[in-house]
Amino acid sequence: MFKINCLNPIAAVGMDLFSDKYTVTEDFAQADAALVRSASVHELELSEQLQAIARAGAGVNNIPLDKCADKGIVVFNTPGANANGVKELVIAGLLLASRDIVGGINWVQSVKDDENVAKLAEKNKSKFAGTEIKGKKLGIIGLGAIGVLVANAANRLGMQVYGYDPFISVDAAWNLSRDIKHINNVEDIYKECDFITVHVPLLDSTKKMINKEAISMMKDNVVILNFARDLLVDEVDMGEALAAGKVKKYVTDFPNPTTAGMPGALVIPHLGASTEESEDNCAIMAVKEIKEYLENGNIKNSVNYPACDMGICTSAVRIAINHKNIPNMLGQFTSILASAGVNISDMINKSRGNYAYSLLDAETAVADDVISQLKAIDGVLKIRVIK
Ligand SMILES: NC(=O)C1=CN([C@@H]2O[C@H](COP(=O)(O)OP(=O)(O)OC[C@H]3O[C@@H](n4cnc5c(N)ncnc54)[C@H](O)[C@@H]3O)[C@@H](O)[C@H]2O)C=CC1
Ligand SMILES: O=C(O)CCC(=O)C(=O)O
């Protein structure tokens, strides 16, 4: 029986995929696998029992990836599963920043009991008027699952779209409309665009990328949208740029003590992925990843271990080994099994950075002491007999 812990509520349509081989535990320390959305895993103790963590979402900055890898814990995410939900909110953000829709709605509430409300509206509406997005220049930094959808949707709404992503995947490039202007230097986005939206992961290299220096290169009255992570923007610099009138609006999905009351900021309570469809898609993908890993040892969509797929085990035994990516690991595994008289029917070994993963199918049972010998090899982080 596998024990699953949910650090955040996960959509039922995903949880229902767990068969009667699984039980849900409230105790993270007892779990074989955990599912999480935005809850932080950084402060939690990682038990020996824990095999996998699946982030039902895209950003994994709430999970200590290297610490997990070092303990043989495979971390998954659900690429693209909530991208449409975010795209739709970004389009809403463009529109909310173009006319003072929020201010206008609040104003109507303030005069709602006045019987002349209709006349008052006609007299006051010019205070909330603005511009159209058609024909304006939109710069997109990060053309992954979300950036590509935003680019194509904004293009269809008549915007001139500029895209920047030095690491764009082949898939993303294929999906991008040919109308999108490909930018090689992010500064061209800063200098040219009326709206700039950021869709990159939070990494050391992207932290505070939108700062005083970047903003100084931008057009006056630029609108900046951040539906990726708050720490991508230096929000003190942003507050100053809003106060100075350099930035017209800062639309962010991340309330915090700095942004929540910031004049000129439109702050949304992290709703990007909060649609029924995105929550369902993420939950289904995350649960399938966990099941495939626990039941067959196969890895798909991991962010700290290599992809690895040897199908379903048809031999007597499958051994899964999470280990360091150092020389002679496979040689040691096979020689220990050979010395024990175990014939290997299939095997695979994949690496990613400092870590590697091996699956070995054997034709006969493997004794506990042989597994102990494998476990004792320097560089082995975790070992499981799956079948
Ligand atoms: N507001 C919300 O609810 C949500 C927020 N997010 C955030 O949005 C981010 C992006 O999500 P996805 O598009 O699904 O991820 P993705 O992994 O598909 O795309 C990220 C893209 O950023 C690019 N990139 C990395 N460093 C870059 C740099 N320095 N300059 C330009 N491009 C760079 C990558 O090459 C990749 O194409 C996530 O990491 C997450 O933090 C994601 C989903 C929901
Ligand atoms: O699960 C959520 O609501 C947050 C989604 C998100 O930020 C992400 O997928 O990176």
pLDDT in tens, 83-142: 999 999 999 999 999 999 999 999 999 999 999 999 999 999 999 999 999 999 999 999
Q: Are residues 68 and 3 in the same domain?
A: yes
CA–CA distances in Å: residue 82 to residues 79, 176, 266, 271, 384: 8, 18, 22, 11, 32
Residue closest to 229 by CA, chosen among 200, 258, 205, 197:
200
Q: Are residues 291 and 330 in the same domain?
A: no
Q: Are residues 119 and 247 in the same domain?
A: yes
Q: Are residues 244 and 160 in the same domain?
A: yes
Q: What is the DSSP letter of 290?
A: H
Mean pLDDT score across all residues of the chain: 98
What CATH number does residue 331 fall under? 3.30.70.260
DSSP β-ladder status, 355-362 and 344-352: antiparallel
Number of structural domains the chain divides into: 3
Q: Are residues 141 and 154 in the same domain?
A: yes
Ligand number with the minimum distance to the CA of 140: 1
Q: Are residues 70 and 154 in the same domain?
A: no
CA–CA distances in Å: residue 289 to residues 33, 65, 256: 11, 17, 32
Residue closest to 54 by CA, chosen among 244, 286, 297, 239:
286
Q: Whose CA is nearest to atom 39 of ligand 1?
A: 201
Strand, coil or helix: what is 48?
coil
Q: What is the pLDDT of residues 324-368, one digit of tens each?
A: 999 999 999 999 999 999 999 999 999 999 999 999 999 999 999
Q: Are residues 162 and 22 in the same domain?
A: no
Q: Residues 156, 161, 165, 168: is their CA dihedral positive or negative?
A: positive
Residue numbers of the chain with a pLDDT score lower than 70: none
Query: Residue 352: which H helix or E strand, with range?
Result: strand 344-352
b/e 173-200 (16+ beta carbons within 10 angstroms → b): eeebeeebeebeebeebbebbbbbbbbb
Q: Residues 99, 103, 109, 110: is their CA dihedral positive or negative?
A: negative
Is 273 touching ligand 2 by the criterion CB < 6 Å? Answer: yes
**Residue 245: predicted pLDDT:** 97
Three-point CA angle 178, 249, 253, nearest 5°? 75
Integer distance in angstroms from the first to the last C-alpha of the chain?
13
Is 58 touching ligand 2 by the criterion CB < 6 Å? Answer: yes
**Residue 133: predicted pLDDT:** 98
Which residue type sits at 112? K
Residue 240 class from Cβ within 10 Å (0-12 exposed, 13-18 middle, 19+ buried)? middle
| Chosen domain end from 305, 326, 359 | 305
Ligand 2 pocket test target in 38, 55, 62 with most atoms within 8 Å of CB: 38
* Residues with C-beta less than 6 Å from any ligand 1 atom: 57-59, 79, 82-83, 86, 141-147, 164-169, 172, 199-202, 205-206, 227-229, 253, 270, 272-273
**Residue 321: predicted pLDDT:** 98
Domain that holds residue 335: 306-387
* Residue indicated by tokens 């812990």: 5
pTM of the model: 0.97
What CATH number does residue 188 fall under? 3.40.50.720
**Residue 243: predicted pLDDT:** 98
Q: Are residues 255 and 281 in the same domain?
A: no
> Quick check: 381 and 322 in contact, CB under 8 A?
yes
Is 38 touching ligand 2 by the criterion CB < 6 Å? Answer: yes
Q: Are residues 183 and 99 in the same domain?
A: yes
**Residue 99: predicted pLDDT:** 98
Q: What is the DSSP letter of 289?
A: H
Ligand number with the minimum distance to the CA of 196: 1
> Quick check: 310 and 361 in contact, CB under 8 A?
yes
> Quick check: 232 and 210 in contact, CB under 8 A?
yes
Residues 6 or more apart in contact with residue 279 via CB below 8 angstroms = 11, 56, 82, 273
Q: Are residues 238 and 101 in the same domain?
A: yes
CA–CA distances in Å: residue 165 to residues 33, 136, 199, 200: 33, 20, 10, 9
**Tokens in use for 118?**
């209709």
Determine the distance separating the centroid of ligand 2 and the alpha carbon of 75, expressed in angstroms.
15
Determine the distance separating the centroid of ligand 1 and the alpha carbon of 323, expressed in angstroms.
28
Q: Are residues 369 and 259 in the same domain?
A: no
Ligand 1 pocket test target in 167, 200, 210, 231 with most atoms within 8 Å of CB: 200
Percent of the chain residues topping a pLDDT of 90: 100
**Tokens in use for 185?**
């230097």
Q: Are residues 131 and 259 in the same domain?
A: yes
**Residue 100: predicted pLDDT:** 98
